[in-house]
Structure 1
Amino acid sequence: MVAVPCWSEQFSNAKLIEDVWKIGIRAKADEKQIVRREVLKHCILEILKSERGKEVKSNVMELKALAEHAVSEEGTSHKNTLEFLNSLAASAQKHPAGAIIDTFKIK
């Protein structure tokens, strides 16, 4: 991933991508706040052909595996989503339309 931050939180996101998670590289803008073609070319080649690029790919694959596990049936994301939906269904039971909503309860 090549991060090209322009405004707002994109600068902190780019810092996280490059310095913390190490899943990409930040393209630096010049004094006119323009990211030049040569800079982008360098960033792309860095990601595709360097040792740093291999590290980035390894980190991305690790995060991918963690995300896949989180959304699997044993994962926290899946469990939390079911818990949230079931709490909505339980809350709906307290209202007159609750009988209709009860048919959507997730098991």
Structure 2
Amino acid sequence: MVGVPHLSDQGTNAKYVEDVWGIGVRARRDEKGIVRREMLEACIREVIEGDKHNEVRKNVMKWKKLAKEAVGEGGSSDKNIDEFVVFPVFPATR
């Protein structure tokens, strides 16, 4: 993944992609604040065939496995949606 943040929380998302989750790189702006074609090409090449390729691929597979476990039966997301749907909005009156 190549992060190209523009507004709002996209900078945070791009930081997570690169620094926290390790599933891609963040495109840097030039001195005029523009992400140039050459920068995008370099980022894409880095993810596809560069030094970070193996690390990114390993991390993507790790996060894919964790996501499948979370949404699978008995996973954390599965349990949370069940709890959300079953949990009463208003306490029962007696």
So what's the TM-score if we normalise by structure 2?
0.88
2:7 equivalent to 1:7: yes
1-side partners of 2:29 and 2:72: how far apart? Answer: 40
Q: Choose between structure 1 and 2: higher helix proportion.
A: 1
Give aligned-pair identity as a percent. 49
Give the counterpart letter for 2:37 in structure 1. R
Gaps of 5+ in 2: none
Q: Which residue of 2 aligns with 1:59?
A: 59
User: C-alpha separation between the residues in 2 aligned to 1:84 and 1:14?
Assistant: 30
Larger Rg: 1
Per-residue CA distance 1:26-72 (angstroms, 9 max, x = gap): 00011111111111110011110123111111101100100100011
Shift of 1:7: 2.0
One-letter identity of the residue aligned with 2:23 = I
Structure 1: gaps (5+ residues): 96-107
Structure 1's consecutive aligned runs of 4 or more residues displaced over 2 angstroms after TM superposition are 91-95
